[in-house]
Amino acid sequence: MLGAGCLLWTVLALPLGLVLPSGWGKWLGRWMATLGFRAYIWLLDVIGLGRFDLTALDALRGAGPLILAVNHPGLLDALMVLSRLPNVTCIFKASLMRNPLWGAGARLAGYIRNDLFLGAVNLAVDELHSGSQLLLFPEGTRSDPMPLGEFQIGAAYVSYRSGIPIQTLIIEQDSRFLGKGWPWLKRPDMPMHFRIRLGQRFDPPTNPKAFTVTLSDYFRSEITPLSGGA
Protein backbone atom coordinates (compact mmCIF):
# COMPACT_ATOMS: atom_id res chain seq x y z
CA MET A 1 0.00 0.00 0.00
CA LEU A 2 2.83 2.37 0.81
CA GLY A 3 4.56 1.50 -2.46
CA ALA A 4 1.39 2.10 -4.47
CA GLY A 5 0.84 5.48 -2.85
CA CYS A 6 4.43 6.57 -3.42
CA LEU A 7 4.32 5.42 -7.04
CA LEU A 8 1.15 7.42 -7.65
CA TRP A 9 2.76 10.52 -6.12
CA THR A 10 5.88 9.96 -8.25
CA VAL A 11 3.77 10.17 -11.41
CA LEU A 12 2.54 13.59 -10.27
CA ALA A 13 5.76 14.83 -8.63
CA LEU A 14 7.95 14.29 -11.70
CA PRO A 15 6.22 16.89 -13.91
CA LEU A 16 5.54 19.21 -10.96
CA GLY A 17 9.24 19.28 -10.21
CA LEU A 18 9.90 20.52 -13.74
CA VAL A 19 7.33 23.33 -13.80
CA LEU A 20 7.01 24.62 -10.24
CA PRO A 21 9.40 27.22 -8.76
CA SER A 22 11.58 25.59 -6.11
CA GLY A 23 9.87 27.39 -3.23
CA TRP A 24 6.41 26.24 -4.26
CA GLY A 25 7.73 22.76 -5.00
CA LYS A 26 9.21 22.42 -1.51
CA TRP A 27 6.02 23.61 0.14
CA LEU A 28 3.85 21.24 -1.88
CA GLY A 29 6.23 18.29 -1.60
CA ARG A 30 6.52 18.56 2.18
CA TRP A 31 2.80 18.99 2.74
CA MET A 32 2.06 16.01 0.53
CA ALA A 33 4.56 13.95 2.52
CA THR A 34 2.82 14.97 5.76
CA LEU A 35 -0.67 14.23 4.45
CA GLY A 36 0.32 10.98 2.73
CA PHE A 37 2.27 9.56 5.67
CA ARG A 38 -0.44 10.61 8.13
CA ALA A 39 -3.01 8.74 6.04
CA TYR A 40 -0.72 5.70 5.89
CA ILE A 41 -0.20 5.64 9.67
CA TRP A 42 -3.96 6.03 10.17
CA LEU A 43 -4.46 3.02 7.90
CA LEU A 44 -1.94 0.93 9.86
CA ASP A 45 -3.93 1.74 12.99
CA VAL A 46 -7.24 0.85 11.33
CA ILE A 47 -6.04 -2.58 10.15
CA GLY A 48 -4.60 -3.31 13.59
CA LEU A 49 -0.91 -3.41 12.67
CA GLY A 50 0.16 -0.63 15.03
CA ARG A 51 -0.90 1.90 17.63
CA PHE A 52 0.81 5.28 17.32
CA ASP A 53 1.17 8.06 19.90
CA LEU A 54 2.75 10.94 17.98
CA THR A 55 0.88 13.95 19.39
CA ALA A 56 3.94 15.26 21.26
CA LEU A 57 5.36 16.29 17.87
CA ASP A 58 2.54 18.81 17.38
CA ALA A 59 4.24 21.15 19.88
CA LEU A 60 7.08 21.61 17.38
CA ARG A 61 4.88 22.73 14.49
CA GLY A 62 5.51 26.43 14.02
CA ALA A 63 8.35 26.37 16.57
CA GLY A 64 10.83 27.70 14.03
CA PRO A 65 14.07 26.13 12.83
CA LEU A 66 15.29 23.18 14.88
CA ILE A 67 17.52 20.19 14.29
CA LEU A 68 15.42 17.15 15.16
CA ALA A 69 17.77 14.42 16.39
CA VAL A 70 15.99 11.06 16.56
CA ASN A 71 16.97 7.49 17.39
CA HIS A 72 16.38 5.11 14.50
CA PRO A 73 15.06 1.64 15.44
CA GLY A 74 13.11 0.99 12.22
CA LEU A 75 12.00 2.06 8.76
CA LEU A 76 8.84 3.79 9.97
CA ASP A 77 10.74 6.42 11.96
CA ALA A 78 11.00 9.18 9.36
CA LEU A 79 7.42 8.58 8.23
CA MET A 80 6.15 9.07 11.78
CA VAL A 81 7.97 12.38 12.22
CA LEU A 82 7.04 13.73 8.80
CA SER A 83 3.38 12.79 9.33
CA ARG A 84 3.08 15.49 12.01
CA LEU A 85 5.53 18.18 10.89
CA PRO A 86 5.08 19.70 7.42
CA ASN A 87 8.07 22.05 7.21
CA VAL A 88 10.84 19.49 7.62
CA THR A 89 13.70 18.63 5.31
CA CYS A 90 15.63 15.36 5.62
CA ILE A 91 19.15 14.29 4.83
CA PHE A 92 18.32 11.43 2.48
CA LYS A 93 20.42 8.51 1.29
CA ALA A 94 21.64 9.32 -2.21
CA SER A 95 20.47 5.92 -3.45
CA LEU A 96 16.90 6.72 -2.35
CA MET A 97 16.99 9.90 -4.44
CA ARG A 98 17.25 7.60 -7.48
CA ASN A 99 14.59 5.20 -6.24
CA PRO A 100 11.44 5.23 -8.42
CA LEU A 101 9.20 5.19 -5.34
CA TRP A 102 10.87 7.94 -3.33
CA GLY A 103 13.13 9.98 -5.60
CA ALA A 104 10.76 12.37 -7.38
CA GLY A 105 8.86 13.25 -4.20
CA ALA A 106 12.07 13.71 -2.22
CA ARG A 107 13.55 16.02 -4.86
CA LEU A 108 10.36 18.06 -5.05
CA ALA A 109 10.35 18.48 -1.26
CA GLY A 110 13.97 19.67 -1.31
CA TYR A 111 15.40 16.82 0.72
CA ILE A 112 19.20 16.71 0.88
CA ARG A 113 21.48 13.97 -0.51
CA ASN A 114 23.98 12.52 1.95
CA ASP A 115 26.75 11.52 -0.46
CA LEU A 116 28.88 14.67 0.04
CA PHE A 117 29.33 15.51 3.74
CA LEU A 118 30.27 19.19 3.46
CA GLY A 119 27.83 19.80 0.63
CA ALA A 120 25.03 18.24 2.66
CA VAL A 121 26.01 20.30 5.71
CA ASN A 122 25.98 23.54 3.70
CA LEU A 123 22.55 22.76 2.25
CA ALA A 124 21.24 21.82 5.70
CA VAL A 125 22.50 25.11 7.17
CA ASP A 126 20.82 27.04 4.34
CA GLU A 127 17.52 25.21 4.95
CA LEU A 128 17.64 25.96 8.67
CA HIS A 129 18.39 29.63 8.08
CA SER A 130 15.43 29.80 5.70
CA GLY A 131 13.13 28.61 8.49
CA SER A 132 12.93 24.84 7.89
CA GLN A 133 13.35 22.16 10.49
CA LEU A 134 15.89 19.42 9.81
CA LEU A 135 15.38 15.73 10.56
CA LEU A 136 18.60 13.88 11.37
CA PHE A 137 19.33 10.41 12.67
CA PRO A 138 22.63 10.77 14.59
CA GLU A 139 23.39 7.07 14.08
CA GLY A 140 23.36 7.62 10.31
CA THR A 141 21.42 4.39 9.74
CA ARG A 142 19.03 2.14 11.63
CA SER A 143 20.16 1.23 15.14
CA ASP A 144 22.74 -1.54 15.06
CA PRO A 145 23.12 -3.03 17.56
CA MET A 146 19.75 -2.38 19.14
CA PRO A 147 18.65 -0.32 20.95
CA LEU A 148 21.23 2.28 19.85
CA GLY A 149 24.18 2.29 17.48
CA GLU A 150 27.27 4.48 17.32
CA PHE A 151 26.63 8.20 16.80
CA GLN A 152 28.12 10.19 13.93
CA ILE A 153 29.21 13.83 14.16
CA GLY A 154 26.71 15.16 11.59
CA ALA A 155 23.97 16.49 13.90
CA ALA A 156 26.46 18.23 16.18
CA TYR A 157 28.38 19.73 13.27
CA VAL A 158 25.25 21.11 11.57
CA SER A 159 24.19 22.69 14.88
CA TYR A 160 27.67 24.15 15.36
CA ARG A 161 27.72 25.61 11.83
CA SER A 162 24.15 26.93 11.86
CA GLY A 163 23.77 28.10 15.45
CA ILE A 164 20.45 26.24 15.63
CA PRO A 165 19.53 24.15 18.71
CA ILE A 166 19.12 20.37 18.67
CA GLN A 167 15.73 19.07 19.79
CA THR A 168 15.94 15.40 20.69
CA LEU A 169 13.06 13.04 19.92
CA ILE A 170 12.83 9.66 21.59
CA ILE A 171 11.13 6.83 19.69
CA GLU A 172 9.82 4.06 21.92
CA GLN A 173 8.38 0.82 20.53
CA ASP A 174 7.73 -2.72 21.67
CA SER A 175 8.85 -4.49 18.49
CA ARG A 176 11.98 -4.78 16.37
CA PHE A 177 9.79 -4.62 13.24
CA LEU A 178 11.77 -3.37 10.20
CA GLY A 179 14.90 -2.83 12.25
CA LYS A 180 18.31 -3.97 11.04
CA GLY A 181 18.20 -7.64 10.19
CA TRP A 182 14.40 -7.96 10.31
CA PRO A 183 13.30 -10.43 7.57
CA TRP A 184 11.01 -8.72 5.06
CA LEU A 185 8.49 -11.58 5.12
CA LYS A 186 8.43 -12.06 8.90
CA ARG A 187 5.08 -11.21 10.46
CA PRO A 188 5.37 -9.22 13.72
CA ASP A 189 3.15 -9.64 16.76
CA MET A 190 0.33 -7.13 16.32
CA PRO A 191 -0.67 -4.58 17.25
CA MET A 192 2.75 -3.03 17.77
CA HIS A 193 3.00 0.15 19.82
CA PHE A 194 4.98 3.24 18.83
CA ARG A 195 5.42 6.48 20.74
CA ILE A 196 7.52 9.57 20.12
CA ARG A 197 8.20 11.90 23.01
CA LEU A 198 10.12 15.16 23.19
CA GLY A 199 13.51 14.90 24.82
CA GLN A 200 15.98 17.56 25.94
CA ARG A 201 16.75 20.55 23.75
CA PHE A 202 20.48 21.31 23.49
CA ASP A 203 22.08 24.64 22.63
CA PRO A 204 24.49 24.66 19.66
CA PRO A 205 27.79 23.11 20.74
CA THR A 206 31.19 24.75 20.64
CA ASN A 207 32.94 21.39 20.24
CA PRO A 208 30.98 19.07 17.89
CA LYS A 209 33.14 16.02 18.56
CA ALA A 210 32.77 16.24 22.35
CA PHE A 211 29.08 17.05 22.06
CA THR A 212 28.46 13.95 19.94
CA VAL A 213 29.55 11.86 22.93
CA THR A 214 27.24 13.89 25.19
CA LEU A 215 24.33 13.39 22.80
CA SER A 216 24.95 9.64 22.57
CA ASP A 217 25.14 9.32 26.37
CA TYR A 218 21.87 11.23 26.69
CA PHE A 219 20.02 8.93 24.30
CA ARG A 220 21.43 5.85 26.01
CA SER A 221 20.12 7.13 29.34
CA GLU A 222 16.64 7.66 27.87
CA ILE A 223 16.11 4.51 25.79
CA THR A 224 15.05 1.27 27.45
CA PRO A 225 16.19 -1.91 25.64
CA LEU A 226 13.42 -4.13 24.28
CA SER A 227 12.79 -7.23 26.32
CA GLY A 228 11.24 -9.26 23.52
CA GLY A 229 10.48 -7.37 20.37
CA ALA A 230 8.82 -9.95 18.17
pLDDT tens by residue, 9-52? 888 878 888 888 888 889 999 999 999 999 999 999 999 999 99
71 and 137 Cβ atoms separated by less than 8 Å: yes
pLDDT tens by residue, 135-184? 999 998 888 888 899 999 999 999 999 999 999 999 999 988 888 888 88
Report pLDDT for 116. Answer: 73
> Torsion angle of alpha carbons 199, 125, 12, 35, nearest 10°?
20
pLDDT tens by residue, 70-118? 999 998 999 999 999 999 999 877 777 777 777 788 888 889 988 777 7
> Torsion angle of alpha carbons 124, 109, 135, 79, nearest 10°?
-170
Task: Report domain extents, the chain.
Answer: 2-222
Residue 185 has pLDDT above 90, yes or no: no
Residue 229 has pLDDT above 70, yes or no: no
Look at phi and psi of residue 198 and say left if phi exceeds 0, alpha if psi is from -120 to 50, else beta: beta
Global model pTM greater than 0.85: yes
Nearest to residue 188, comparing CAs of 200, 196, 177? Answer: 177
